[in-house]
Amino acid sequence: NAGVMQNPRHLVRRRGQEARLRCSPMKGHSHVYWYRQLPEEGLKFMVYLQKENIIDESGMPKERFSAEFPKEGPSILRIQQVVRGDSAAYFCASSPRRGQGTDTQYFGPGTRLTVL
């Protein structure tokens, strides 16, 4: 039973390029969450998606960031025109139902984005 998969594990982009981060949830999970983690900081919530729906994007920056979770395929976090401040580890988590404490979120290994 494969866990949450994220790719790429490491991504290097130059300022102004686009970054695309992919997340495949655990089998049977239809809820996906994206978090950003900066050095010495905790996980910051970005967005919560169900299939074809954005449920909560209150943690997403207003510009350049977008997320989707199509009916088929992985969830995508897209960052347009990256800047150095976007360098961070981006984690995806999935859960089988809405994120209540007993339906725990399971995390992927993360994508480490470096912007040169």
Residues that bind other proteins (CB under 8 A): 4, 33, 35, 40-45, 48, 55-56, 91, 98-102, 104-110, 112
Least separation in angstroms between residue 10's CB and other proteins is 10
Residue showing tokens 């290097």: 12
Least separation in angstroms between residue 89's CB and other proteins is 8
What tokens does 58 get? 């209150």
Q: In the complex with other proteins, which residue's Cβ is closer, 50 or 80? A: 50
Least separation in angstroms between residue 52's CB and other proteins is 17
Q: In the complex with other proteins, which residue's Cβ is closer, 17 or 45? A: 45
Q: In the complex with other proteins, which residue's Cβ is closer, 81 or 104? A: 104
Least separation in angstroms between residue 81's CB and other proteins is 27
What tokens does 51 get? 């299939």
Q: How far apart are CA 57 and CA 84, in angstroms?
A: 22
Q: In the complex with other proteins, which residue's Cβ is closer, 45 or 76? A: 45
C-alpha pair distances (Å), 36 with each of 28, 71, 102, 104, 108 = 24, 24, 23, 18, 12
User: 38-43: long-range contacts (C-beta < 8 A, 24 or more apart)?
Assistant: 38/88, 38/89, 43/91
